[in-house]
Amino acid sequence: MRNHVGIAGLGIYIPDRVMTAKEISEATNGVWAEEAVREKLGINKKYLPGPGDGTQEMGYKAAKNLIDEYGIDPLSIDMIISIGEEWKEYPLTTTAIYIQEKIGAYNAFAFDLQQRCCTNITAMKVAKDMMMANDDINTVLICGGYRNGDFIDYTNSRVSFMFNLSAGGGAILLKKNYGRNELLETSIITDGSFARDVGVRYGGTEEPINLENIDKAYKSLDVFDVEGMKARLNEKSTPNFLFVIRDALKKSGYSQEDLDYLAILHFKYSAHKYILEELGLDESQSIYLRDYGHMGQIDQILSLKLALEEGRIKDGDIIATVGAGIGYAWAANVIKWGKIED
C-alpha cells in the first residue's frame, strides 16, 4: 500500500453552560431581537465555559475523550500540535506541552500552531507533511480549546458577527498508513491587508491594561477598521471560500461534483446556504451548527463528528473541511472517507 495519512479518531469536549438566543438578545439590550438572533445570526444556543474550562484544559479534555473512545495508548503518540487559542489560562505557556503531560504522551514532542479559525486545517497539513517526511513520526494528535467569546461586548454593534462565539475543545488523531480515511490535499490563502482589522484592543504591548482602560479591557475584542474591513471582506471572502474548496479538490484529483459532505465553520445562515448552493450541495450534505455556535477552529472537528454520528458520512465519500480566520486566512482540505483501495 502506498504511503498515506489517515484520520484515526475524533474527540470533542462541550461545556455544560448554555447561552440561548433569548439571552443573547437580552445581552444586546433588545437591539437584536431573539428572532433575528435565530434567523439572521443563525444561533439557537451556544456554549459558554464553566469552572475549569480553560482553553488548555478543554483541549486536554477533548484529547482525553478521543483517547478513551478509541483506546489509544498515549505512549504511541509521536507528536502533538495544539490548535488552541492564544487566550488561555496563563499567557506564554505552551499548550501542547501541557496537554502532552496531562495525557501521558511521554514519547511525543509538542508545539503550538495558530491561524485563528483555520488553525485545525493548517495543522492537519503541517502534520501530514511532517509525517510523510519523517520515518519516526507515525501518530500525531491535534487538539485545542476555544473561548474567545469571553471578549465579546454584546452592546457593541461592530462585533455582532461574532455574537456566535462559543466554547469547546476538539481533537483529531492522524496515523501514517492507517488504511482508512485518507487526508488528501490542502489549499490555504492569507491576506495581510486584514491583519489588524480585528483584535483585542487592550492587553498587548501596544495598549497595555492600565487604570484608565481596565474596566473595558476584558470585553475589547473589536473591529478596528469597520468600513475598510467590510468593503474588502465583501469583495474577497466568499470567492476565497469557494476557491480554497475547489483548489483543494483539484489538487486531490476531484471536482466539486464529487463532493459529498462539507464540514464548514458556523457563520450567518445566508452565507452558509450560499456556499452550499454554489457547490451544488443540499442541506443534508453539511451541518449548520445553530445549536452550538462558533467554536473557532473546533467547528470542522465538531461537524465531522456529528455527521458520522448521524450517518451523513459513509465509506467512499469525498469530504471537504473549510474555515476562515480573522487576519485573514481561508483554508480547506479534502478527506476520502473509508477504506483505502490501491
Residue 206: how many other CB atoms lie within 10 Å: 9
Threshold 0.95, pTM exceeds: yes
Domains of the chain by range and CATH? 5-179 (3.40.47.10), 184-339 (3.40.47.10)
Give the tens place of pLDDT for each residue, 197-217.
999 999 999 999 999 999 999
Contacts 24+ apart (CB under 8 A), 19-27: 19/45, 19/46, 19/47, 19/48, 20/44, 20/45, 21/45, 24/154, 24/163, 27/154, 27/155
Give the pLDDT of the chain (342 residues) as one tens digit per residue: 799 999 999 999 999 999 999 999 999 999 999 999 999 999 999 999 999 999 999 999 999 999 999 999 999 999 999 999 999 999 999 999 999 999 999 999 999 999 999 999 999 999 999 999 999 999 999 999 999 999 999 999 999 999 999 999 999 999 999 999 999 999 999 999 999 999 999 999 999 999 999 999 999 999 998 888 888 888 899 999 999 999 999 999 999 999 999 999 999 999 999 999 999 999 999 999 999 999 999 999 999 999 999 999 999 999 999 999 999 999 999 999 999 987
